[in-house]
């Protein structure tokens, strides 16, 4: 089952002092979702945003908010992020010893259900929860920082996950996150990804944010 391709700007690379202007530009480019990276300084070394920021972003845009929890014990914060206005919540497989229960919690909170997997985690780890998922986030860098290089050996994993979703006759969005540019976006889409998260490539593009968004669209043009 083919899903719609979405280019999803990651606010980790945004200028936080000009957030509403930058989001307005992305709305003008046709973005439909924003990606928000939540880091706790424990699961990953960096510390970023929490529910307070998600609720602030919720007040300045109607775009859907795709919230990526890079935190230990994510189950403790599911309700807080749902209340803050998340539309999609992804927890890390590696941070979730009771993943099935956590995914049930996300579903019960009325939010789309996602799991993110680190580069070392095989696709097969998600086989038994695939019927519960709306999104799989295939980390194409090691989580924690923006501006890293795409790991090309993740491409076959994308294809395996898509095949696993089709096996259970479920429409699951396959998201790629980290090092996405026009070129890597194209490779990811060819492998079967349809949600493309991009931070640096959009917010630090020499032609500005609109230029960065367009450059990724150009990269996948033939696949749209």
Give the binding site for ligand DX5 (CB under 6 A).
10, 12-13, 35, 37, 68, 141, 143-144, 146-148, 177-180, 197-201
**Are the C-beta atoms of 90 and 112 separated by less than 8 Å?**
no
Distance of alpha carbon 31 from alpha carbon 64, whole angstroms: 9
Establish whether 37 is a catalytic residue. Answer: yes
Burial status of residue 163 (CB atoms within 10 A of its CB: 0-12, 13-18, 19 or more): exposed
How far is the first Cα of the chain from the last one, in angstroms, to the nearest whole number? 15
* DSSP per-residue codes, 157-185: HHHHHHHHHHHTT---EEEEESS--HHHH
Cβ of residue 36: shortest distance to ligand DX5, in angstroms?
Answer: 9
Residue 192 contacts which entry, ligand DX5, Zn ion, none (Cβ below 5-8 A, type-dependent): none
* CB nearer ligand DX5, residue 114 or residue 143: 143
37 binds Zn ion (CB under 5 A): yes
Which residues within the stretch 80-109 sit at the binding site for Zn ion (CB under 5 A)? none
177 binds Zn ion (CB under 5 A): yes
* CB nearer ligand DX5, residue 51 or residue 146: 146
Establish whether 223 is a catalytic residue. Answer: no
Distance of alpha carbon 11 from alpha carbon 197, whole angstroms: 10
SS3 149: coil
* CB nearer ligand DX5, residue 51 or residue 199: 199
Distance of alpha carbon 138 from alpha carbon 164, whole angstroms: 14
Which residues within the stretch 54-83 sit at the binding site for Zn ion (CB under 5 A)? 68
Catalytic entry in 40, 66, 134, 177: 177
Cβ of residue 142: shortest distance to ligand DX5, in angstroms?
Answer: 8
| Catalytic residue IDs | 37, 177
Binding site for Zn ion (CB under 5 A): 37, 68, 177
């Amino acid at each position: 089952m083919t899903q719609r391709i979405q280019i999803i700007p990651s606010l980790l690379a945004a200028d936080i002092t000009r957030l509403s202007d930058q989001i307005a530009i992305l709305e003008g480019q046709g973005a439909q979702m924003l990606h928000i990276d939540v880091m706790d300084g424990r699961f990953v070394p960096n510390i970023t945003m929490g529910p307070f920021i998600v609720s602030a972003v919720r007040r300045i845009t109607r775009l859907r908010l795709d919230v990526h929890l890079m935190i230990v014990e994510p189950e403790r914060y599911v309700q807080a992020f749902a209340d803050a206005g998340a539309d999609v919540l992804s927890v890390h497989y590696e941070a979730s010893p009771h993943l099935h229960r956590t995914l049930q919690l996300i579903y019960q909170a009325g939010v789309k259900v996602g799991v993110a997997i680190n580069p070392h985690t095989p696709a097969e780890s998600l086989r038994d929860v695939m019927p519960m998922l709306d999104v799989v986030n295939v980390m194409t860098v090691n989580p924690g920082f923006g501006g890293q290089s795409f790991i090309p050996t993740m491409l076959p994993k994308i294809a395996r996950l898509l095949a696993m979703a089709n096996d259970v006759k479920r429409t699951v969005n396959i998201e790629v996150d980290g090092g996405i540019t026009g070129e890597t976006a194209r490779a990811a889409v060819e492998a079967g990804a349809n949600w493309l998260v991009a931070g640096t490539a959009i917010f630090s593009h020499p032609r500005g944010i609109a230029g960065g968004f367009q450059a990724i669209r150009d990269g996948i043009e033939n696949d749209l």
